[in-house]
A and B are shown apart, each in its own frame.
Chain A
């Protein structure tokens, strides 16, 4: 029962330019850091993902929006929102990003690789039903949640989002489904300006944990653990999805949280332990933010190491 590291070479084709914080160097840094840990490198399964199908993207996105992303990429790219650009390779990258996470779901449910981390870009948790937002084109984790229910017949899914920014897109794309519980800890006040603690969604299945920057690390860890406790009271998930944003690390250029590598390892171990008791250890994790490439890479490797134990 090995953990899987899933990625796709097409994820590098989303060309945002080196001046943009969400650049391909983020993924390169992760693979470099992974090679620097030969024990972990050889203990995990290395897999190339697949491209998500249009039908799969349309589990959460407006068909017209999906079409527009494809057309913009075919025309050489363009600007999708104030922060989000597309290049000619963005359609291939974004469908590969979502497809990697869907492969993670397949492997998890089948028991081949119950736990996986998908190193993908563009990230997904800000993308909403009909538009791109905040560097995100398609809601990778939200798609995976609906896919797990539709394709594999799972019902109860827990999504944990520890990116420093609120996962507004994921929330919007899952909050109407009462059997998907969503926990997001994020900096406040901060982009995108959503994610109030009293925003519980129409079925009260959303647990938002807004926190100011600069607190002691332990306060963030404890708050997120409490949020997960609350979200799983009387609710036993059959699958855990993680929106693994590592911009909550101290010194990230886009965040003010103070988390360290040890904290991501500890949070991951805690979720592994919970998943072992709830759902045969099923965890599918996907990269979201994290804009200091070397630090992001170190955190991703520690996260993967904890998934692999």
Chain B
């Protein structure tokens, strides 16, 4: 039995990269919505 083994590190990094992509998109949405509030509340600190 032989197979072209996918490196475990590559497999992990691909998943992390995919998750990071999703998280970045989600954070982008959150940041767009919340940015004005952050700026306002930060002014008084």
Given contacts A83-B9, A191-B6, A191-B8, contact A253 B1 (CB under 8 A): no
Is the pair B12, A193 in contact by a Cβ cutoff of 8 Å? Answer: no
Assembly CA distance A86 to B17 (angstroms): 23
> Would you call A88 an interface residue if the criterion is a C-beta within 8 Å of the partner chain's C-beta atoms?
no
Q: Select one of B1, B3, B11 contacting A199, CB under 8 A.
A: B1
A-B CB contacts (within 8 Å), total count: 52
Chief secondary structure at chain A's binding surface: loop
Contacts of A165 in B (CB 8 A): 8
Q: Check: B4 CB closer than 8 A to any chain A CB.
A: yes
> Is B34's CB within 8 Å of the partner chain A?
no
A226 at the interface (CB under 8 A from B): no
**B10 contacts across to A, CB distance below 8 A:** 82-83
Contacts of B24 in A (CB 8 A): none
Residue of B nearest to A247 (CB): B8
Chain B residues, CB < 8 A from A188: 1, 3
- In contact, A193 and B5 (Cβ under 8 angstroms): yes
Q: Which residues of chain B come closer than 8 Å to A191, judged between CB atoms? A: 5-8, 11
Contact A193 B9 (CB under 8 A): no
Once bound together, how far apart are the Cα atoms of A253 and B9, in whole Å?
10
CB distance from A105 to the nearest CB of B (A): 28
- A-B contacts, 12 of them at CB < 8 A, read A19-B13, A20-B12, A21-B8, A21-B12, A83-B10, A188-B1, A190-B3, A192-B5, A194-B1, A194-B2, A197-B1, A210-B1
Report A's interface with B, CB cutoff 8 A.
19-21, 82-83, 134-135, 165, 188-199, 210, 253-254, 291
Closest 9 CB pairs of A and B: A196-B1, A193-B5, A83-B9, A189-B3, A191-B5, A193-B3, A21-B12, A192-B5, A191-B8
